[in-house]
Amino acid sequence: MSLVVKSLATSIGKQQILTDISLTLAPGEIVGLIGRNGVGKTTLFKSILHQYLPSKGEISIDEVEVATDPSKYPEVFYLDDQNLYFAHESIRFAAQFASMVYPHFDVAGFWQLMAANHLVAGQQYRMLSRGLKAYVRVSLAVASGSPYVLLDEPFEGLDVIVREQILQLIVNEVAEHQRSFLLASHDLAELDGLSDRVYMLKAGRIVGTYDLESLRQHAQKLQLVFSNNQLPAIVAQGQVISHRGRVYEILFSDYNDAIDAALRAEQPILMEPMSLTLTDLFKMNLEDAQ
Amino acid sequence: MKTNANRLIWRRYRSLLLALLGLALLFAWMNTGLLNTNARLDRRYNPTAEEIRTDKDQADLRGHLAQTHESPETFVANRDSVFEPGAQGKFEVAIGQQGRSLGQDIGLVIVVSLMSGLALVVFGKYTHFLEWLRGSGLSNRKTAWTSLTLWLCTFNVAVLVNQVIMYFVLNQAIKPDLIHLSWQNVLAFGLLNQVFESVWFVLGMLLGTWLSRPIWALFYGFVFVLELNQFRLDGGPDFPGGLSVQTFYSPGQSTGLVILGGVIVLILSMWLYVFLSGRVAYAESPLTVFPQTDYLFIILLGGIATSSLMRNLSFYSWVGVGLVIVIWGLMLYQAYGSRIQRRLARQ
């Protein structure tokens, strides 16, 4: 029981956007998808739903390949906020059409969520604020009852109240109904506390999968200052995330006693452990690219 | 878990489809009014110029020509009325005002049919509804077949409504001894129109599917139908110029063959629409949804624009030349505008 993408490749026009993408979304998981603008996050979501036709690869939902049985698609919920089918329509319209597509759509539940923010059926979606638009989209996702939900930048530009409401909705759905969320986001701090795993997308490829908890068990981020300007050789075992003057922040993905001893042997002026965040992983991969 | 394609597509398009039916009724009603109040019934001979010279039975027509100082050739060349089915022998029966037919103009029929099909596809693309349907459990083929069936049926009902009303009005307006609207003729006439208009409708759908940007697709569709109708872009429409009205509106010995050919073209177009729809990715590209066919599109439009330019030049129509240049400019802007902007931004 999972959403599985295997060796997916997608081209738009003559341009190859995605190459050899493989990922899994299991029930009850919140998985992050991070990457810089234009790396193909939205294309990946659209390819999973065959809105963009993949040139290669397999997508299966609960072990059924969707290319042969597209009726499995309502098991996955995705709305492209730039290209919404109800962008110029009312909230009622959005709900009516969603209820025709998603067999487990909870109409009453959806209107309860709308009422919580004083939204009414006749309101035009385009007239809503950015935050309320995001709230309507996430509410549709929640009401859809689809086991797998793909959300593209769900927290972008939201105020604290709406952000909190959306977070609560997501967490509740995962906890109570074992639903899975794949969240593409730039808000790394938000994903950090929320996601079980994170896929890093770079230039159309998945360059890393990070299980933050297990990573934190093995990895160590250190703030280091050495007396001379030259970094000792042992630092090459880690990766420089940032440096200001002689102050370096270095991430050792497999930190062990030998590395610790070697660093101490260099007698650093400052050697301070720091908490590892998703932002560090993001920056680390960014540095790679540069 | 099956998604009800008919229900979904009908709900989304019902306002447009009902508007189409409403317009068909409105036009039929308008035609009825025109026929009742303003129509002039002409019964005249329909001979060739050679027959006018030689046929002794047509002395009265020759007398008429002598009085009006009109040559047989001019008389024959000036006939522009719609021939109604069942006209007997060398008689031509025309209904209209000042020699213009009140029946359906073939050029206008092409414009309305093609643009209706195009507009429905463009609406689906512009509102991202077709794209959303992709991810809703409907196979691409299912979506394409369902929309095609629903739209084509509604369109045919609209055409049929128009034809039926016209038939009853004509039946009332024309004396039975002048014209025989026999069931065979009516059937042939009706089928011919249904098939002919359906072909243009599906071609419009194909064009809308092939062209990538919805609003530009409407623009190009309009340029295409105007050019097809040899509209010279100088303020002077010349709708029937390229296609003979009689060819399509007067059933004759070859009507069955024409209908058969039309049905074959219609089926092929429908199949092609479903085939292409299954391969459309809904990602916006500059010209066509398949980049490998961009050159085909450029050649097609280049040909249309060049032919229009040459024609305008031959007529010394500077307004027309200006319009063609504006259209060329818009085409180039649409195709290469963003690329040029990006290049300028980099400099």
- Mean of all residue pLDDT scores within chain A: 86
Contact A74 B1 (CB under 8 A): yes
Residue B83 lies in a domain: no
Residue B313 lies in a domain: yes
Query: What's the CA gap between B311 and A242, in Å, rounded?
Result: 68
Query: Is A257 found in the same domain as A134?
Result: no
Phi, psi angle pair for A167, to nearest 5°: -55, -45
Query: Is A218 found in the same domain as A117?
Result: no
Give the pLDDT score at B181: 60
Sorted by sequence, the CB contacts under 8 Å of residue A278 that are 6+ apart come out as A32, A34, A188, A189, A191, A192, A198, A210, A212
Query: Is B173 found in the same domain as B153?
Result: yes
- DSSP symbols for A197-253: EEEEEETTEEEEEE-HHHHHHH-EEEEEE-SSSSPPGGGGGSEEEEEETTEEEEEET
Question: Considering only CB atoms, which chain B residues are within 8 Å of A40?
Answer: none
Question: Considering only CB atoms, which chain A residues are within 8 Å of B4?
Answer: 100
Tell which of A192, A210, A228 closes a domain. A210
Query: Is A56 found in the same domain as A41?
Result: yes
Query: Is A200 found in the same domain as A78?
Result: yes
Contact B279 A101 (CB under 8 A): no
Query: What's the CA gap between B100 and B107, in Å, rounded?
Result: 14
Query: Is A173 found in the same domain as A254?
Result: no
Query: Is A133 found in the same domain as A226?
Result: no
Query: Is A246 found in the same domain as A195?
Result: no
List pLDDT tens digits, range B224-259: 777 766 554 444 444 333 333 333 344 556 677 888
Scan residues 51-90 of A and list those with Cβ closer than 8 Å to B. Answer: 51-53, 70-76, 78, 80, 83-85, 87-88
Query: Is A183 found in the same domain as A219?
Result: no
Query: Is B263 found in the same domain as B200?
Result: yes
Average pLDDT of the segment spanning A113-121: 92
Query: Is B271 found in the same domain as B297?
Result: no
Q: Which residue of B has its CA nearest to A84?
A: B128
Number of folded domains that form chain A:
2
Residue B94 lies in a domain: no
Phi, psi angle pair for A216, to nearest 5°: -65, -25
Average pLDDT of the segment spanning A100-123: 92
Residue B43 lies in a domain: no
Query: Is B324 found in the same domain as B207?
Result: no
Number of folded domains that form chain B:
2
Residue B154 lies in a domain: yes
When mean pLDDT is compared across A25-29, A43-47, A139-143, B64-68, the lowest value belongs to B64-68
Are B250 and B101 in contact by the 8 Å Cβ rule? The answer is no
Question: Considering only CB atoms, which chain A residues are within 8 Å of B3?
Answer: 71, 74, 100-101
Of A187 and B161, which is predicted with more confidence? B161
Give the pLDDT score at A265: 87
CB-count burial class (<10 Å; 0-12, 13-18, 19+) for B235: exposed
Nearest to B282 among A51, A76, A103 (CB): A51
Using the Cα atoms of residue B283, residue B286, residue B291 and residue B293 in order, give the sign of their dihedral.
Answer: positive
Kindly give the residue spans of alpha helices, DSSP state H, lying in A26-181: 41-48, 91-101, 107-116, 130-144, 160-177
Query: Is B300 found in the same domain as B264?
Result: no
Query: Is B314 found in the same domain as B239?
Result: no
Nearest to A74 among B3, B127, B285 (CB): B3
Average pLDDT of the segment spanning A157-179: 86
Query: Is A277 found in the same domain as A147?
Result: no
Question: Considering only CB atoms, which chain A residues are within 8 Å of B297?
Answer: none
Query: Is B257 found in the same domain as B112?
Result: yes
Contact A80 B128 (CB under 8 A): yes
Question: Considering only CB atoms, which chain A residues are within 8 Å of B138?
Answer: 70
Give the pLDDT score at B117: 92
Residue A64's alpha-carbon distances to A1, A71, B132, B262, in angstroms, are: 10, 10, 21, 42
Is the pLDDT at A138 greater than 80? The verdict is yes
Query: Is A229 found in the same domain as A104?
Result: no
Tell which of A210, A235, A254 closes a domain. A210
> B229 lies in which domain range?
5-25+108-283
Q: Which residue of B has its CA nearest to A80?
A: B132
> How many CB contacts within 8 angstroms connect chain A with chain B?
70
Chain A interface test: which of B2, B123, B133, B134 (most A C-beta within 10 Å): B134
Residue B134's alpha-carbon distances to A94, A273, B129, in angstroms, are: 16, 50, 9
Are A149 and A182 in contact by the 8 Å Cβ rule? The answer is yes
pTM above 0.80, yes or no: no
Average pLDDT of the segment spanning A12-35: 88
Query: Is B303 found in the same domain as B231?
Result: no
Query: Is B208 found in the same domain as B112?
Result: yes
Nearest to A85 among B127, B139, B140 (CB): B127
Average pLDDT of the segment spanning A163-181: 89
Contact A13 B283 (CB under 8 A): yes
Residues of chain B with pLDDT under 70: 1-3, 31-48, 52, 55-58, 74-107, 170-182, 184-185, 228-254, 282-286, 347
Question: Considering only CB atoms, which chain B residues are within 8 Å of A87?
Answer: 127-128
Of B46 and A172, which is predicted with more confidence? A172
Neighbours of B326 (CB within 10 A): 11
Residue B40 lies in a domain: no
For B40, the token pair is: 């002039």
Chain B nearest-CA distance from A11, in A, is 10
Question: Considering only CB atoms, which chain A residues are within 8 Å of B1?
Answer: 71-72, 74-75, 103
Contact B135 A88 (CB under 8 A): no
Contact B3 A100 (CB under 8 A): yes
Query: What's the CA gap between A281 and B148, in Å, rounded?
Result: 50
List pLDDT tens digits, range A236-248: 888 888 888 888 8
Neighbours of B180 (CB within 10 A): 15
Query: Is B129 found in the same domain as B254?
Result: yes
Residue B237 lies in a domain: yes
Query: Is B208 found in the same domain as B130?
Result: yes
CB-count burial class (<10 Å; 0-12, 13-18, 19+) for A92: middle
Nearest to B136 among A83, A87, A101 (CB): A101
- DSSP symbols for B41-109: EEEEE---HHHHHH-GGGHHHHHHHHHHT--HHHHHHT--PPPPTT--TTEEEEEEETTEESS--HHHH
Interior/surface letters B72-90, b for 16+ CB within 10 angstroms, e for the rest: beebeeeeebbbbbbbeeb
Give the pLDDT score at B89: 39
Query: Is A147 found in the same domain as A120?
Result: yes
Residue B57 lies in a domain: no
Chain B nearest-CA distance from A86, in A, is 7
Scan residues 135-174 of A and list those with Cβ closer than 8 Å to B. Answer: none
Of A34 and A216, which is predicted with more confidence? A34
Query: Is A234 found in the same domain as A180?
Result: no
Residue A171's alpha-carbon distances to A163, A164, A192, A209, in angstroms, are: 12, 10, 14, 22
Tell which of B283, B305, B331 closes a domain. B283
Query: Is B251 found in the same domain as B203?
Result: yes
Give the pLDDT score at A216: 75
List pLDDT tens digits, range A49-91: 888 888 899 999 988 898 888 888 889 999 888 888 999 999 9
Q: Would you say the ipTM is above 0.85? A: no
Are B249 and B95 in contact by the 8 Å Cβ rule? The answer is no
Nearest to A52 among B7, B11, B283 (CB): B283
Residue A59's alpha-carbon distances to A48, A50, A208, B139, in angstroms, are: 7, 9, 20, 15
Phi, psi angle pair for A179, to nearest 5°: -85, 160
Question: Domain with A88 in it: what CATH number?
Answer: 3.40.50.300
Contact B1 A72 (CB under 8 A): yes
> A195 lies in which domain range?
3-210
